[in-house]
Amino acid sequence: EVYMVASGGGLVQPGGSLRLSCAASGFTFSGSHLNWVRQTPGKGLEWISYIGSGFNIHYSDSVKGRFTISRDNARNSLYLEMNSLRTEDSAVYYCAADRDWAFIIWGQGTVVTVSP
Partner 1 sequence: QSALTQPASLSGSPGQSITISCTGTSSDVGSFNRVSWFQQHPGKAPKLMIYEDTQRPSGVSNRFSGSKSGNTASLTISGLQAEDEADYFCCSFAYPFAWVFGGGTKVTVL
For partner 1, the binding residues (CB under 8 A) are: 35, 37, 44-47, 50, 58, 60, 94, 100-104, 106-109
Rounded least distance, CB 11 to partner 1, Å? 20
DSSP 8-class letter at 109: P
Nearer to partner 1 among residue 17 and residue 25 (C-beta): 25
Contact 85, 18 (CB under 8 A): yes
**Shortest distance, CB of residue 50 to partner 1, whole angstroms?**
7
- Least Å distance, CB 94 to partner 1, is 6
- Measured from the CB atom, the residue of 24 and 37 that comes closer to partner 1 is 37
**How far does Cα 53 stand from its chain's mean position?**
15
Contacts of 7 (CB under 8 A, 6+ apart): 20, 21, 22, 23, 110
